[in-house]
Amino acid sequence: MPASRRPEAVRELEALQQQERKGAGEPMLTHEDFLRLLREDIQKELISDRLDSGGLAAVIEGAGADEELVEQIFAARLNKWRLDDPSQWSRYETPGSLFGIANVCARIETVFANHDWRLPELPAVGTLTTGQVSAVTQKTSIGAPLVLIDNGFFKFSGIMSQLAVFSSYDTQVRGHFSEGTYQLVSDLVATHTVLNTCLYVYPRKTPPEYQTHVANLVDALILFVISHEYAHITAGDLDAHPFKGSQSDSDLRSKEFEADKIGFITVVEATADTDTTGSAVFGPFLYFAGLDLLSRAAAAYQGRAASYESTASPSEYPTSYERTVNLLDWLETSPYVPRFQDQIRVASACYNIILSVWDEILPVFWDARQELSAADPALHGPSPRLPEVDTQYVVGTLWSRVLAHLRQT
């Protein structure tokens, strides 16, 4: 297993990020800034852990003792993944985002090494606005792999994971969806269809008793998507995604299905030590449900009925529904049944539950299209407002209509 990423590929990643972030006025982090932010992140984590476990009293009591602990964690994080090494990681990434990316990549690389799934070289990995709630792999000018994660993807994963927990609870316990569940779908579709990102959605609170479960689902979803990209690198197809070029690829469908299987195996193995309830299985299903939901919302926004048909031509990118069916078919004869039989059943049911929340919001969204499109940059050009302001507009517009609809029925 190669131990490092090619510095030239990391520089190309930074160049892409620089173009994008110059517009937003975000500078490259200096080494000192990076270290300061990393230390602050760790302090915040410790404070929030203490708040959860013992309230404000525990925070005050722990303040002195934490200083040493912060330094220990700080040193460990820097050493473990060479987080502050600019030959390995982009200096446009915040420590928080980089910590998440490096952690996921390291676990995926371990699983790949265990299977002897050979990576010709480690990819440079970073975030960029791609407008797709996903990650894509492309080749740099020197031929090195580069994995670009949409900068709204982590937020999307959080929303989908909360949605899985809330909507399943509603179905099993309440017998109807709660406002919190509708709100998650409403916020996601309003921002993503009109503004092309859910990055600026204000996060909903997760009740403390569900926080671990939601965090495990987020982890599974992110691991699945990024290991799917690693699978493409191993297979040598560096441009296999639906957004660029590869239409002439006659094996596109089978390549996608194959990468999904590797993604599934990777999530299960990368979480084997921490995941005691089988959350790993939800990773692919939640991701596919989110893609399906957003493609239905995009169709509605354009004023057309969602099309579920596919020509099933080998060169056509499979729909998320087809990827789900294909994964289920493969699982049936895999060693993961019977071990995960219950989780597979619940996870694929969860896909349908999430889409049934959308079915109820669809007519309201349809009627709100005109009003929502007032903030659409595709119609009116780049917005002169802060992204948070536009987000608040589309979220507020759709949610007030959904709420009125729910109170009527």
Of residues 244 through 303, those in contact with Zn ion by CB under 5 A are 256, 259
Cα-Cα end-to-end distance for the chain: 59
Number of residues that bind Zn ion (CB under 5 A): 3
**Least distance to Zn ion, CB of residue 365, Å:** 28
**Least distance to Zn ion, CB of residue 95, Å:** 29
Half-sphere exposure (CA, 13 Å, Cβ side) for 122? 23
**Least distance to Zn ion, CB of residue 241, Å:** 5
Nearest to 159, CA basis, from 318, 294, 331, 299: 294
Which residue matches tokens 């929030």? Answer: 48
By beta-carbon proximity to Zn ion, the closer residue of 201 and 240 is 240
Contact 394, 191 (CB under 8 A): yes
Cis bond leading into 27, ω under 30°? no
Of residues 216 through 255, those in contact with Zn ion by CB under 5 A are 240
Residues 401, 402, 408, 409: what is their CA dihedral angle, to the nearest 10 degrees? 150
Number of helical (H) and strand (E) elements in the chain, helices listed first: 12, 3
Of residues 134 through 153, those in contact with Zn ion by CB under 5 A are none
**Least distance to Zn ion, CB of residue 260, Å:** 8
Query: What's the CA gap between 191 and 204, in Å, rounded?
Result: 15
Query: What's the CA gap between 49 and 69, in Å, rounded?
Result: 13
Query: What's the CA gap between 48 and 42, in Å, rounded?
Result: 10
By beta-carbon proximity to Zn ion, the closer residue of 136 and 270 is 136
**Least distance to Zn ion, CB of residue 134, Å:** 9
**Least distance to Zn ion, CB of residue 325, Å:** 16
Contact 218, 157 (CB under 8 A): yes
In sequence order, the 6+-apart residues with CB closer than 8 A to the CB of 143 are: none
**Least distance to Zn ion, CB of residue 371, Å:** 35
Of residues 101 through 120, those in contact with Zn ion by CB under 5 A are none
Residue 146 is classified by DSSP as: E
By beta-carbon proximity to Zn ion, the closer residue of 161 and 320 is 320
**Least distance to Zn ion, CB of residue 240, Å:** 5
By beta-carbon proximity to Zn ion, the closer residue of 287 and 365 is 287
By beta-carbon proximity to Zn ion, the closer residue of 164 and 226 is 226
By beta-carbon proximity to Zn ion, the closer residue of 259 and 331 is 259
Please calculate the CA angle 378-383-389 and round it to the nearest 5 degrees: 120
By beta-carbon proximity to Zn ion, the closer residue of 83 and 259 is 259
By beta-carbon proximity to Zn ion, the closer residue of 46 and 259 is 259
Of residues 312 through 371, those in contact with Zn ion by CB under 5 A are none
Question: In 123-197, where do the E strands start and end?
Answer: 124-128, 135-139, 145-150
Residues that bind Zn ion (CB under 5 A): 240, 256, 259
